[in-house]
C-alpha cells in the first residue's frame, strides 16, 4: 500500500505469459549470429572482404590442383596435405574473426546483457567457440569439395576411382575438422583476453607465428626433432594428420601417438581456460 505521501500508479506493464524458447534456443541463436558475424553477413562490405577472400583463396587452391590433376594425371598435393598447406589461411582467418566474435562484447561491456538469462558464461563461450570452429571449417572445406568433384567426375576407372577419391575426400574433411577444432580452441581464449581487437589479433598471430621458428630452431638442435616441433601448433596438427590420415607435410615417425595425446591435452586445456576466463568475466 502507498503511504499518505505517495501514490502507486499502474502504468500497464504485464509479465510475459507466452512460450519461452529457453537456453538451447538462445545458444543456437548466438551461434548463428556469431557465424554470420564471422563472414560479415548483415554488415558492411569491409567486414566481408577478408573472410570471403580467404575462403575464395582456399577454393582456388583446390581448383588449381584439381585442374592439374585431371589434365596431367599427376596429383600435386593430396587432400590431407592441402589442408596442411592451407593452415596459414586458417590462422589469418582466426586472427580476424576470433577478436570480432569476443573482443567487441568485452570492450563494449555487454557481457552482463548476454548472461542475464538464460545463458550462462559457459553457454556463451561454447557457442562462440562452435561458431569459430565452423567458420574455419567453412573456409577450408570448399577446397576439398572442389577437388573431389573434379577428380570424381574425371576419373577413368569408373566407380572404383570415385570410391577411391571419396575415401581421400573423407580423410581431407577429417583433417579440416582436426585443424578447425584445435586452432580455434587455441585462438579464442587469447582473443578473449582483450577488449581491443587489434591487441587480440596480435595475441592470436603471435601464438602461431612465433612458436613456428622457435620449434624449428629447437628441432635443428635435437636428436629427436619431432618432439620440440610440437611446440608449434601448426606442426602439432600436421603431425596428427601424418599419424592418423597419412599426410606427408610433417613426418612424425614413431612419435605419432604422442602428437595425438599432446593435441588432445592442449585442446582440452584451451577450452578449460576459455570457460574459466568467461566465468571471471561474468562476475
Cβ neighbours of 52 (radius 10 Å)? 14
* pLDDT score at 5: 62
* pLDDT score at 1: 47
Cβ neighbours of 113 (radius 10 Å)? 10
pLDDT in tens, the chain (283 residues): 445 566 666 676 777 777 778 889 999 999 999 999 999 998 888 889 999 999 999 999 999 998 988 888 777 888 999 999 999 999 999 999 999 999 988 888 888 888 877 889 999 999 999 999 999 999 999 999 999 988 888 877 778 888 888 999 999 999 999 999 999 999 999 999 988 889 999 999 999 999 988 988 888 888 887 788 889 999 999 999 989 888 777 777 788 889 899 999 999 999 999 999 998 775 4
* pLDDT score at 165: 84
Burial of 48 (0-12, 13-18, 19+ CB in 10 A): middle
Q: What is the pTM of this model?
A: 0.89
* pLDDT score at 159: 84
Return the domain boundaries, the chain: 22-281
Amino acid at each position: 500500500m502507498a503511504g499518505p505521501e505517495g501514490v502507486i500508479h499502474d502504468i500497464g506493464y504485464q509479465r510475459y505469459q507466452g512460450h519461452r524458447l529457453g537456453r538451447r534456443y538462445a545458444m543456437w541463436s548466438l551461434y548463428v549470429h556469431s557465424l554470420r558475424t564471422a563472414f560479415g553477413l548483415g554488415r558492411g562490405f569491409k567486414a566481408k572482404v577478408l573472410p570471403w577472400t580467404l575462403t575464395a583463396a582456399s577454393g582456388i587452391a583446390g581448383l588449381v590442383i584439381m585442374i592439374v590433376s585431371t589434365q596431367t594425371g599427376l596429383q600435386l598435393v593430396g587432400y590431407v596435405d592441402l589442408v596442411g598447406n592451407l593452415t596459414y589461411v586458417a590462422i589469418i582467418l582466426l586472427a580476424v574473426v576470433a577478436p570480432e566474435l569476443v573482443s567487441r562484447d568485452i570492450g563494449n561491456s555487454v557481457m552482463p546483457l548476454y548472461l542475464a538469462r538464460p545463458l550462462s558464461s559457459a553457454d556463451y563461450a561454447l557457442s562462440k567457440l562452435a561458431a569459430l570452429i565452423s567458420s574455419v571449417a567453412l573456409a577450408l572445406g570448399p577446397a576439398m569439395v572442389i577437388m573431389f568433384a573434379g577428380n570424381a567426375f574425371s576419373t577413368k576407372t569408373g566407380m572404383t576411382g570415385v570410391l577411391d577419391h571419396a575415401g581421400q575426400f573423407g580423410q581431407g574433411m577429417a583433417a579440416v575438422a582436426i585443424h578447425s577444432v584445435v586452432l580455434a580452441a587455441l585462438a579464442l581464449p587469447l582473443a578473449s583476453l582483450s577488449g581491443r581487437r587489434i591487441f587480440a589479433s596480435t595475441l592470436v598471430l603471435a601464438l602461431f607465428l612465433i612458436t613456428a621458428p622457435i620449434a624449428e630452431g629447437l628441432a635443428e638442435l635435437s636428436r629427436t626433432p619431432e618432439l620440440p616441433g610440437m611446440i608449434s601448433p601448426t606442426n602439432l596438427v600436421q603431425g596428427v594428420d601424418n599419424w592418423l590420415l597419412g599426410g606427408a607435410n610433417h613426418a612424425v615417425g614413431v612419435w605419432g601417438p604422442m602428437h595425438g595425446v599432446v593435441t588432445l591435452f592442449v585442446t582440452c586445456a584451451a577450452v578449460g581456460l576459455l570457460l574459466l576466463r568467461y566465468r571471471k568475466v561474468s562476475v
